[in-house]
Amino acid sequence: MDLGLRDRVYLVTGGSRGLGFAAAQALVAEGAHVVLSSPNEASLSAAANRLAESTPAADSAVWVAADNADPATPGRLIAAAQDRFGRLDGALVSVGGTPAGTGASTTDDAWRSGFENVFLGAVRLARDFVRLVGDESDEKAGTGSLAGTGASLVFVLASSVRVPLPNLPISNGLFPGLAGVVKMLASELGPDGIRLNGLLPVRIATDRVRELDALSGDPDEVRARQSERIPLRRYGEPEEFGRAAAFLLSPAASFITGAMVPVDGGAIPSI
Classify burial at 48, counting beta carbons within 10 Å of its beta carbon; exposed 0-12, middle 13-18, buried 19 or more: buried
Q: Which of 109, 116, 12, 21 is nearest to 64 (CA)?
A: 12
Position with higher pLDDT, 10 vs 145: 10
Residues 162-194: tens digit of each pLDDT: 999 998 999 999 999 999 999 999 999 999 999
- Is residue 137 very low, low, confident or very high in pLDDT (cuts 50, 70, 90)? low
Strands (DSSP E) contained in the chain are: 9-13, 33-38, 61-65, 90-94, 152-156, 195-201, 260-263
Q: How far apart are CA 123 and CA 181, in angstroms?
A: 8
89-103, 114-128, 139-153, 202-216: which has the minimum mean pLDDT?
A: 139-153
Measured over the CA atoms of residue 180, residue 205, residue 115 and residue 101, the dihedral's sign is positive
Position with higher pLDDT, 271 vs 42: 42
Q: How far apart are CA 150 and CA 220, in angstroms?
A: 43
Q: Give me the residues paired with residue 55 across strands.
A: none
193: phi > 0 → left, psi -120 to 50 → alpha, else beta; which? left
Residues 85-101: tens digit of each pLDDT: 999 999 999 987 888 88
* Farthest-apart Cα atoms in the chain, separation: 59
pLDDT at 96: 79
Q: How far apart are CA 23 and CA 262, in angstroms?
A: 15
**pTM assigned to the model:** 0.92
Segments making up each domain of the chain, as ranges: 9-204+242-263
Classify burial at 105, counting beta carbons within 10 Å of its beta carbon; exposed 0-12, middle 13-18, buried 19 or more: exposed
| Average pLDDT value for the chain | 91
Residues 200-259: tens digit of each pLDDT: 999 999 998 998 889 888 999 999 999 999 999 999 999 999 999 999 999 999 999 999
CA-CA-CA-CA dihedral for 47, 50, 248, 177, to nearest 10:
-10
Contact between 117 and 95 (Cβ < 8 Å)? yes
pLDDT at 144: 42
CATH class of domain segment(s) 9-204+242-263? alpha beta
CB atoms within 10 A of CB 78: 19
Q: How far apart are CA 126 and CA 113, in angstroms?
A: 19
- Residue 263 main-chain phi, psi, to 5 deg: -125, 80
